Amino acid sequence: MNFQPYRSPSTGRPVRAVLFDTFGTVVDWRTGVAREVAAFAAAHGHTLDADAFADHWRALYQPAMDAIRSGQRGFTKLDTLHRENLDAALRHHGINPDQFSRETLEELNKSWHRLPPWPDSVEGLAAIRRHYIVGPLSNGNTSLLLDMARDAGLPWDVIIGSDMTGTYKPLPQAYLRTAEFLDLEPGEVMLAAAHNSDLQAAREAGLATAFVARPTEHGPGQAVDLAPEGDWNLVASSIPGLADRLGA
């Protein structure tokens, strides 16, 4: 029997590519960053709350991109923003970044390149890939996403980083330019994400949408994105569950 791709009721088109928000949806950034920060602190004789450090470093992410999205600053890749924010996070936790070599801080900054996948991610992506194009639709830059894929074993078909689209989500062009690179209409692309705001922006740009719940992305006390907050096309509790909903 020939496979029939999922047809999105919101776009009226069959889905050809399922692209994923990556930080939090496919990989567990909090665990990965905290693990590397803890090792860094121990190696250099510092004591800190690694989970709190990871949370603070991540909290600087959106404000840094806001300056670019608003036009106050030209496009700057995420690796550079993370590196700038690392100095601020270290100082916030009472550690002077000037005591470390540039190479040492660059290596810590690459924590974001080595994030572990959620336990279901690789299996689920491989299942979806049997019938759909799969790749990230992320604010990460291409080299970051490539390193992450190789380290975590993510079976992407294609990687289009934000440095290729030249913009950051949730601006519409982040979604539309990614579809253009694939020579697809926006409605033939589905964004799968654990973040309702990302899905709302994707829908407004004309993409199909799928919510994948990640209720511990921000730790055991997470209070946001615990459930879908819109009538997204599909809702799943895991990526294999999404594969099932897609008929893959």
Tens-digit pLDDT profile for residues 13-38: 999 999 999 999 999 999 999 999 99
Q: First-to-last CA distance in the chain? A: 13
Q: What is the Cα–Cα distance from 217 to 118, expressed in whole angstroms?
A: 10
Quote the pLDDT of residue 248: 87
Pairing of strands 17-20, 133-136: parallel
Query: pTM for the complete prediction?
Result: 0.96
Per-residue pLDDT at 123 exceeds 80: yes
pLDDT tens, residue by residue, 131-185: 999 999 999 999 999 999 999 999 999 999 999 999 999 999 999 999 999 999 9
pLDDT tens, residue by residue, 49-75: 999 999 999 999 999 999 999 999 999
pLDDT tens, residue by residue, 141-155: 999 999 999 999 999
Q: What is the Cα–Cα distance from 17 to 136, expressed in whole angstroms?
A: 10
List of residues 6+ apart from 50 with CB closer than 8 A: 34, 35, 37, 38, 41
- Centre a 10 Å sphere on the Cβ of residue 63 and count the other Cβ atoms it contains: 10
Peptide bond preceding 170: is omega within 30 degrees of 0, i.e. cis?
yes
Question: Domains plus CATH for the chain?
Answer: 17-28+115-245 (3.40.50.1000), 29-113 (1.10.150.240)
Question: Would you say the C-alpha torsion 93, 97, 99, 105 has a positive or negative sign?
Answer: positive
Per-residue pLDDT at 1 exceeds 70: no
Joined together, the tokens standing for residue 187 give 């409605």
Instruction: Give the bridge partners for 20, in sequence order.
Output: 136, 192
* Confidence grade of residue 2 (pLDDT, cut at 50, 70, 90): confident
Quote the pLDDT of residue 207: 98
List of residues 6+ apart from 90 with CB closer than 8 A: 96, 97
